[in-house]
Amino acid sequence: MEMTAILLLVCFFTLLLINVPISISIALSTLLALVLHMDFTPAATTIAQQMIGGIDSFALLAIPFFILSGLIMGQGGIARRLIESAMAMVGFLPGGLALVNVMSCMMFGAISGSAVAATSAIGSFMVPEMKKHGYSENFAAAVTASAATTGMLIPPSNILIIYAIASGGVSIAALFVAGYLPGILLGLTLMLVCAIYSLKNNYPVAARLPLALVLEKVIAAIPSLLLIIIVIGGIIGGVFTATEAGAVAVLYALVLAVFVYKELSLDELPKLLLKACETTAIVMLIIAASSAMSWVLSYSHIPQMVSQFFLTLSDNPLLILLLINLILILVGAFIDMTPAVLIFTPIFLPVAAQFGMSPVQFGVMIVLNLSIGLVSPPVGSVLFVSCAVAKTSLHKIIRPMLPLYCVMFMVLMLVTYLPAISEFLPRLLGLID
């Protein structure tokens, strides 16, 4: 069994190092590991069956719907209205434009469900605006990248749906609601760091707007934010499932972008549909390959071995949970969030459960943890998108990223050791016992 794990890891990271796409790396390393237990033909057949079974889930239908709704919102003038509303509310505070950047990324990331989309849509406007007003482009890129990760926690979030499946059926509604407080807490702490950093570097402050203009900008953004209320309210109220909520989100986004804001023409829809199909195909292939790898790990009793190792290592839950977080942070620096959730949830969730952590709390913890990986070299996709938007290089934005990394880790520790942060709202609404 140890040989299976070693071969799996060596093959996987070797393929990654030679730039083989992650889904292919997962599938090939999984196949090679299974060949240790059986002949090639039955191994290949088993892998194919597990890949098909991994995506044969009604809940996964929500993902293409939320991807499409996010693309529609991104092209429909939503980002500009969110930025203007955030500017009206906090632009006059110390580091105003940095705070606007964080708030805008939080709102757009929540609506689109994609950290990369938030980085691209908000960053393409906010980074040049911050540079124009005297902010460092490296600081602007760091703020955009770190703030965009909040959308992974604030629903609707595709990665929480994937975790719900990987965990064996945790309530999607409970996970969605559980992500609110950690996501908002992360955003507020990032804003605090931005304010302190801006004061230290004497970055300019915008003028305070008249109250009437503030209200006008906020009201203009309300239709966009209503998407979150409709989706989450409908799921919690039992009006529709998470999958049906995705379809409702597409319809609402389409009406808003085409007929209300009138910034998206029907002629542009085929291009958006094609983009949504491409993104969905990539995500589903990763899910399928990761599901096969999870099955091979289970078949080889790797989760039980890991669980036993941790339980014999120490009986101190503080130490074990810290160790799990450190391992996941290292994993997140090399592996994309979706396969990491699918592969490591079956391994670490039983260990966390042994120390009293609920599946809902663990779900929020692992998503927040792996969100740090999105902005960590060498693989962090959000970090590279932010560098491209700001026209800067990776090594230049690491220094302004350091205080942001620190507060992200601090919030991660709070979520890990204080269950109420993620469980208060679900318990209040009766979604968990």
- Interval 207-223: pLDDT, tens: 777 878 778 888 888 88
Contact 207, 90 (CB under 8 A): no
Q: Taking Cα atoms as reference points, which of 290, 295, 289 lies closest to residue 34? A: 295
Q: What integer is the mean pLDDT of 246-274?
A: 86
pLDDT of residue 367: 94
Check: CB of residue 94 under 8 Å from CB of residue 306.
Answer: no
Instruction: Give the highest mean pLDDT range of 17-21, 110-114, 345-349, 366-370.
Output: 366-370
Closest CA to 182 of 94, 281, 106, 95: 106
Question: Smallest Cα–Cα separation from 146: which of 101, 182, 112?
Answer: 101
Give residue-wise pLDDT tens across range 128-158: 888 888 888 889 899 998 998 888 888 878 8
Q: What was the pLDDT predicted at 415?
A: 96
Q: What is the Cα–Cα distance from 102 to 190, expressed in whole angstroms?
A: 7
CA–CA separation, 281 and 296 (whole Å): 23
Structure tokens at 123: 């960053």
What does R_g of the chain's alpha carbons equal in angstroms? Answer: 22
How many helices (H) does the chain have, and how many strands (E)?
21, 0
- pLDDT of 184 reads 92
Tell me what pLDDT residue 427 has: 92
The pair of structure tokens assigned to 142 is 């760091």
Confidence band, pLDDT 50/70/90 cuts, at residue 330: confident
As a whole number, mean pLDDT of residues 353-365 equals: 93
Share of the chain above pLDDT 90, in %: 17
Neighbours of 240 (CB within 10 A): 15
Question: Is 195 within 8 Å of 398 (Cβ atoms)?
Answer: no
pLDDT score recorded for residue 342: 86
Half-sphere exposure of 28 (CA within 13 A, CB side): 13
Distance of CA 382 to the CA centre of its chain: 10
From residue 22, how far is each of 12, 43, 227 by CA, in Å?
9, 20, 32
pLDDT at 1: 57
- The mean pLDDT value for 78-104 works out to 80
**pLDDT at 2 > cutoff 70:** no
* Whole-number percent of the chain with pLDDT over 70: 99
Q: Quick check: 199 pLDDT over 80?
A: yes
Q: What is the mean pLDDT of residues 384-396?
A: 83
- Both tokens of 109, joined, read 């990331």
pLDDT at 188: 93
Q: What average pLDDT does the chain have?
A: 85
Q: Can you tell me the distance from the alpha carbon of 369 to that of 170, in angstroms, rounded to the nearest whole number?
A: 19
Q: Which residues contact 249 (CB under 8 A, 6 or more apart)?
A: 65, 66, 69, 156, 227, 230, 231
The stretch 243-271 carries a mean pLDDT of: 85
pLDDT at position 336, please?
80
Over the stretch 396-416, which tens digit does the pLDDT of each residue have? 888 889 999 999 999 999 999
Tell me, what's the pLDDT at 322? Answer: 93
Token digits of residue 167: 């965990």
∠ CA(68), CA(159), CA(23), 5° rounding? 85
Residue 231 vs residues 35, 138, 253: alpha-carbon distances, Å: 44, 36, 12
Whether residue 189 is predicted with pLDDT greater than 90 in this model: the reply is yes
Geometric angle at alpha carbon 167, from 161 and 172, rounded to 5°: 35
